[in-house]
């Protein structure tokens, strides 16, 4: 069973804090650690932002893909 360094339930955060919280949490991970993101819609825009801002620094795995809950595991390389 996978353990996560941090689990972020995105709907719990105000809109302006969501991506900042996710990226700050990712930046605090050490190599090999994984965080889980839980959201009420697809996280694909976040994936594209990671691809632009944290190129080659992460892996991304969908754990659940809706229709009501999306979960993603993001690991730091």
Q: What is the pLDDT of residue 12?
A: 97
Angle 67-73-77 from CA coordinates, rounded to 5°: 155
The parts of the chain modelled with pLDDT lower than 70 are 1
Domains recognised in the chain with CATH numbers: 6-76 (3.30.110.40)
pLDDT in tens, 7-19: 999 999 999 999 9
Q: What is the pLDDT of residue 24?
A: 98
Reported pTM: 0.94
Q: What is the pLDDT of residue 2?
A: 81
Cβ-proximal residues to 3 (8 Å cutoff; 6+ apart), any chain: 34
């Amino acid at each position: 069973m996978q353990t996560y360094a941090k689990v972020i339930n995105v709907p719990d955060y105000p809109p302006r804090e969501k991506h900042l919280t996710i990226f700050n949490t990712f930046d605090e991970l050490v190599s090999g650690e994984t965080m889980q993101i839980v959201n009420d819609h697809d996280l694909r825009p976040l994936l594209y932002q990671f691809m632009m801002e944290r190129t080659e620094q992460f892996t991304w795995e969908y754990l659940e893909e809706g229709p009501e809950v999306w979960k993603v595991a993001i690991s730091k390389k």
